[in-house]
Amino acid sequence: MPADPEHEWGCTARGGAASPLIDVPRAKALGGCSAHNATVAIALGLTRLLSADGDSVIGLIRNPDQATDVSDRGGSPVLCDLERASEGQIAAAIKGADAAVFAAGAGGGGSAARTLTVDRDGAIKLLRAAAKAGVPRYLIISAGGAEDPPDGDDGLSIYLRAKADADAAVQSSDLDWTILRPGPLTDDPGAGRVRVDPTPGQGTVPRDDVAAALARLLHDERAAHRVLYVNGGDRPLDHALEAVLSG
């Protein structure tokens, strides 16, 4: 679960010199961008990493005040609120991208209604918009625990069920999807050492390391149709990803 309750941005990218898919010189789209929460910090970190590698990244933002957060990290902000925009409007915003990344969320501490409209409905709306726009690749930041969400009516239970519903929609799509389920997120500097598993694991993980994992997964076609769990560990990130993707 995100450490802070209100994150509201997702990301998509288009027109880059490098691509999230190997040998496809197009772009990336990040769906949902806001500057003060858990997943948003991952998305901003991902924007910085991809831009530094020569990718062209656009960040879908819900508020013009968030534009600087994206542009300062090398991305191009596009005003497109995932909650209010239609699938057609989102599709137009990400047309030409070769990948879309859902990095938005209302978090487990917000209202149940916003958790559903952002974490579940926003993810599904971006997924459908990507299909409509011909974007072949879709990555989503989910959460450890979404594989077996609890039945309670508390914020965390509702959040994990929303994530589970979004993940199910992603898995039933025709896109080349990847679901990344990090453990509890921390503000610690990225260690570059993680554990990546195809099954649930234990532990926390710095947001920086989640962003770094996403950047690598975007460029590796072996990550398609995979559900992966990432937590802090003792293996260098590249080694941990190679072990699970080559298995």
Active-site annotation holds for 159: yes
Write the DSSP symbol of residue 159: H
Write the DSSP symbol of residue 46: H
Give the active site residue among 9, 102, 138, 159. 159
- Element (H or E) spanning 137, and its range? strand 137-141
Distance CA 43, CA 103 (A): 6
Distance CA 214, CA 17 (A): 18
Q: Which residues contact 137 (CB under 8 A, 6 or more apart)?
A: 20, 21, 98, 99, 100, 175, 176, 177, 178, 218, 224
- Element (H or E) spanning 12, and its range? strand 10-13
Q: Do residues 117 and 83 make contact, with C-beta atoms less than 8 angstroms apart? A: yes
Q: Would you please indicate which residues are annotated as catalytic (active-site) residues?
A: 159
